[in-house]
């Protein structure tokens, strides 16, 4: 009658009933063993973590360098007033602790670090710390099966996008406006056919050779300029993301549903992008969770939602073969302990393509 064991047994009841009644192909073992890295533990990160647990995901790492502020608990569901006291706890640690309070069997871990960002100046004193952060982020991406990009700024998504494209990881982006949102899955990396990796999960459906079609794009594939510092000239009221309160839960839920659909699609991350009422990309057999879109864009102002497809760009600053191959060459050639390693991130930054 151990409460923890009882909670663990009861937690998957809804999923087991789903499999029994409606979806016999639901793979609970895959869901429980997949490792998810959440970059950003704010409003989106909290909601995504909870939705992942509801789907049976039991290995979650949250990465953030911020502290819980007094304004956070009302919108960020994993925090309470106690987390705000005495200057505030680190969000990553507080979120992981909260997940374990909700469900003790979850393997939740917090990582406190800043994301190195193009366009943000780095002093000589900060160089070593930035290089260490790059290496640490590389290790985190490499040790997880899926990465969720849930940060506030464009430029903070660039390095994780590059790392995911290089390592061929499932990548989900969720981004918010005031009353609009974007949820999308990134396509496989440019060298995915030759460099597909296995992981701790049975990823048979996720590492198929490329079908020969055009790759789906990443978050940066539609950009015409390199990411720069988007926070430098913000006024006080622009320092935090201002959105309608209902927007983040909607976008977070769609991000997790999109991720679970990837796991259960016959082609996994190599699946073509479906749009509403389109023919399934897998042929006559419909995937068990329905269509698998590339992008979902929604508006609360019009209470509308649409699915779009965007293919990869040969000039993308984050996932094109030129940038990824440059990154792989530099990383393999320059030892982490070398004095030259401090130049690694800047040599492959998007600004170098101007």
Active site residues: 240
Q: Alpha-carbon distance 135 to 142, whole Å?
A: 11
Q: If you ran DSSP here, which 8-state letter would residue 216 be given?
A: B
Q: List the structure tokens of 195.
A: 């460099």
Q: List the structure tokens of 297.
A: 């864009």
Q: If you ran DSSP here, which 8-state letter would residue 293 be given?
A: B
Annotate 70-104 with b (16+ C-beta within 10 A) or e (fewer).
eebbebbbbbeeebbeeebbbbbbbbbebbeeebe
HSE toward the beta carbon, residue 331, CA cutoff 13 A: 17
Residues 6+ apart with CB under 8 A from 24: none
Could you tell me how far CA 345 lies from the centroid of its own chain?
Answer: 21
Burial class (CB in 10 A: 0-12, 13-18, 19+), 223: middle
Residues in the chain: 354
| Long-range pairs, 203-212, Cβ under 8 A, ≥24 | 203/145, 203/268, 205/263, 205/265, 205/266, 205/267, 205/268, 206/145, 206/170, 206/262, 206/263, 206/268, 206/269, 207/168, 207/268, 208/267, 208/268, 208/270, 210/270, 211/267, 211/270, 211/272
DSSP E strand stretches across the chain: 35-39, 59-63, 107-111, 146-149, 170-176, 180-185, 295-299, 304-308
């Amino acid at each position: 009658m151990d409460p923890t064991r009882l909670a663990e047994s009861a937690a998957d009841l809804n999923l087991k009933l789903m499999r029994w009644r409606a979806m016999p192909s639901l793979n609970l073992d895959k869901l429980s063993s997949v490792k998810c890295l959440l970059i950003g533990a704010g409003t989106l990160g909290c909601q995504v973590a909870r939705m992942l647990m509801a789907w049976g995901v039991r290995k979650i790492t949250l990465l953030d360098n911020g502290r819980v502020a007094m304004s956070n608990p009302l919108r960020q569901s994993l925090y309470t007033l106690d987390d705000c006291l005495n200057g505030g706890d680190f969000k990553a640690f507080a979120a992981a602790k909260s997940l374990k309070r909700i469900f003790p069997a979850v393997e939740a871990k917090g990582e406190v670090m800043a994301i190195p960002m193009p366009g943000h100046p780095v002093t000589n004193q900060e160089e070593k710390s930035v290089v260490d952060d790059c290496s640490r982020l590389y290790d985190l991406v490499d040790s997880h099966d899926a990465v969720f990009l849930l940060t506030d700024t464009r430029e903070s998504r660039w390095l994780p996008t590059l790392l995911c494209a290089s390592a061929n990881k499932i990548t989900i982006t969720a981004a918010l406006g005031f009353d609009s949102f974007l949820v999308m899955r990134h396509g496989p990396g440019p060298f995915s056919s030759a460099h597909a990796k296995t992981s701790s999960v049975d990823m048979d459906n996720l590492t198929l050779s490329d079908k020969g079609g055009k790759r789906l794009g990443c978050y940066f594939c539609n950009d015409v300029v390199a990411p720069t510092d988007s926070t430098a000239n913000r006024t006080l009221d622009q320092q935090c993301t201002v959105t309608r309160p209902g927007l983040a839960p909607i976008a977070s839920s769609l991000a997790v549903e999109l991720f679970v659909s990837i796991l259960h699609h016959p082609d996994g991350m190599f699946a073509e992008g479906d749009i509403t009422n389109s023919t399934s990309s897998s042929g006559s057999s419909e995937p068990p969770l329905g269509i698998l879109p590339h992008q979902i864009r929604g508006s609360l102002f019009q209470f509308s939602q649409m699915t779009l497809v965007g293919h990869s760009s040969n000039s993308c600053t984050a996932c094109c073969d030129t940038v990824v191959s440059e990154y792989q060459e530099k990383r393999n050639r320059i030892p982490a302990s070398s004095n030259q390693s401090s130049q690694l991130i800047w040599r492959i930054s998007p600004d170098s393509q101007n």
